[in-house]
Amino acid sequence: MKGLLTLDQLKEKHAKGEIETVLVAFPDQYGRFMGKRYTASFFLDAVARDGMHACDYILTVDMEMDVIPGYKLSSWEKGYGDFHCKPDMSTLRQLTWLDRTALVICDLVNEKTHALVGPSPRAMVQHQIDRLRAAGYAGLGASELEYFMFDETYESAAAKNYENLKTFGNYIEDYHIFQGTKAERLNAAIRKHMDDSAVPVESSKGEWGPGQQELNFRYCDVLGMCDRHTIYKQGIKEIAWAQNLAVTFMAKWKTEYAGSSMHLHFSLWDKDIKKNVFAGDKKFGPVMCSDEFRWFLGGWMQHIRAIMPFYAPYPTSYKRYLSQSWAPVYIAWSHDNRTAGFRVVGSGNSLRIEARFPGADANPYLAFAASIAAGLDGLKNKIEPPQIFEGDVYSARELPRVPSNLMEAVSHLEKSEMLKEAFGADVVEHYVHFFKVEQEKFDQQVTTWERGRYFERA
C-alpha cells in the first residue's frame, strides 16, 4: 500500500535524506497519540529492534495530564514505572504532511510479564479480534468521522475562550459542492496526505452544520481501521494548524448545531475474509441474512447501554442525543433509516451494520472493541434482536432510550458481567474509574451558561 514502509525502505529513504525523524507512538485512553520523536538513525540502530519505554502513568492521567489516584495499573505507591513500547512494524509509514517524518505505532507490554497491558486501547481491540478468530471469524470495519472546521487558529480560539468562533462557512452545507470548494483548501490536502500516508480515503463532503465536514475511510480489518482513524485525527489537526485553521471533533461543540458523529460500520467474515458471514438466505424484515447476522445484532442491541461510555466518553458527549438531531435517541434497528441507532445497509458481501451511536470524540479502539464484545455475546448466546422498526424512531417513545448522561451509562458499564468477561474485570474497573473522574472534573466547573443564567438573577 502506498505510504507503508518496510525497514529496508526506511533505511533507503534515510540514506537519501528523505526521512530524518520517526514518531514512535501509542494511543492513550482518549485516543490521542503519545510517544517520542527519534532520529531515524537511532530508530534504525536500536528502537526498531528493542522498542522504547514510557511512563505507565500515561494510561492514568487525565486530559490535562493531572495525576489521578485510584488506578491499580499505576500509582505513587507503585512508583510510576515504565511499560515497554513494542513497535508494530506493519504500521510503519511515512507521514507526508510532516517534514521527512515516519510513524510507527506501538503495543504496550508489561515489563515483567511481557503480556499486553490490559487497559491499553490497542490491546483491548486486539483481544476482541483474537476472540473473533477463536470463534472462526474475522471482522471488517469502517468509521465515518464528522468534524467542524473553523476560520480560527487553535490559539485564537483559546484566546476567545472558545466563544464566538468563526466557522468555515455560515450556512448548513450538507452535500453542497460550492461550499465544499471553499473548504478544499484544507480537505483536499487532507485527502491527498492521508492517501499518500497509507490511510486510504473514499470521500469527503459537507455536513449538516455550518463549517461541518465528513470524511470516509476505506473498509479494512478492524485493527487497521482503528490505527487509520487515529492517524487521521492526529493528521487533520496538524494539517489544519499548518494552514492557520482549526478543527474540532467534539461530539457537540455548540448548543444550536447538530453534533459530530463517528458512524461505525461492521461486518462479520469467515477467518480467511472470503465470505461475509452476515449474508444469507433467511429473510429478516427486508434483509436477506444469516443467523449470525441476527445474533450479532441482537447482542449488540442488548448491551448497547453498557457499552455507551466507549461511544460517548465525556459528559458533553450526551448533549448530542436529541430528537431529530441525526443522532439516535431510542434503541432500534431499521433498514437504511437514519433515525435508527442501528442502520442496516448493503446486501450480500456488502451487508453491514452501521452503529450511529458513537460520537466523533470516541476512541476508535475502545468503540470497536466494545462493539465486537457485544456482538460475540450475541453469537454465543444466540440473542435475537427485536423486529425491525419502520418509520420515525424519534417518535417511538415506547422504545428503550440511550443513557441520558455519562454517569447513567457508566452505571450500566459497571454492572455488565458480559464486559467483565470480555475485557477482564480489572479493565472494566479501570475504565469505570476513568469515566467517573471525567464526570467529577466536569461537575467541579462553573460554565459560561451558568454565569449567564444566574449571575444577576439568582
pLDDT at 375: 98
Summarised one tens digit per residue, pLDDT across range 394-451 is 999 999 999 999 999 999 999 999 999 999 999 999 999 999 999 999 999 999 999 9
CA distance 128 to 226: 13
CA distance 306 to 210: 33
| Mean pLDDT in residue range 38-45 | 98
Summarised one tens digit per residue, pLDDT across range 151-206 is 999 999 999 999 999 999 888 888 899 988 999 999 999 999 999 999 999 999 98
CA distance 342 to 345: 10
Summarised one tens digit per residue, pLDDT across range 200-250 is 999 999 898 999 999 998 999 999 999 999 999 999 999 999 999 999 999
pLDDT at 208: 86
DSSP 405: S
The answer to whether 426 and 69 have CB atoms below 8 angstroms apart is: no
Which residues 6+ apart lie within 8 Å of 239 measured at CB? 97, 186, 189, 190, 193
Domains with residue ranges and CATH for the chain? 15-116 (3.10.20.70), 133-452 (3.30.590.10)
Summarised one tens digit per residue, pLDDT across range 116-139 is 999 999 999 999 999 999 999 999
pLDDT at 47: 98
pLDDT at 37: 98
Work out the pLDDT band at 291, boundaries 50, 70, 90: very high
| Mean pLDDT in residue range 331-338 | 96
pTM exceeds 0.95 for this model:
yes
CA distance 371 to 33: 22
The answer to whether 150 and 209 have CB atoms below 8 angstroms apart is: no
Whole-Å CA distances, 295 to 26, 136, 140, 157, 347: 34, 15, 17, 46, 17
| Mean pLDDT in residue range 349-358 | 97
Whether residue 111 has pLDDT greater than 90: no
Q: DSSP for 78-124?
A: TT--EEEEEEEEEEEEEETTSTTEEEEEEEEE-TTT-PBPTT-HHHH
- What percent of the chain is modeled with pLDDT above 70? 100
Q: CA neighbours within 13 Å on the CB side: how many for 359?
A: 29
| Mean pLDDT in residue range 343-372 | 97
pLDDT at 174: 87
| Mean pLDDT in residue range 67-85 | 94
Whole-Å CA distances, 89 to 51, 149, 268, 337, 359: 11, 33, 26, 40, 30
- Residue-averaged pLDDT of the chain: 96
Map 236-269 to HEC letters. Answer: HHHHHHHCCCEEECCCCCCCCCCCCEEEEEEEEE
pLDDT at 246: 97
Grid coordinates belonging to 297: 445484532
DSSP 167: B
Whether residue 367 has pLDDT greater than 90: yes
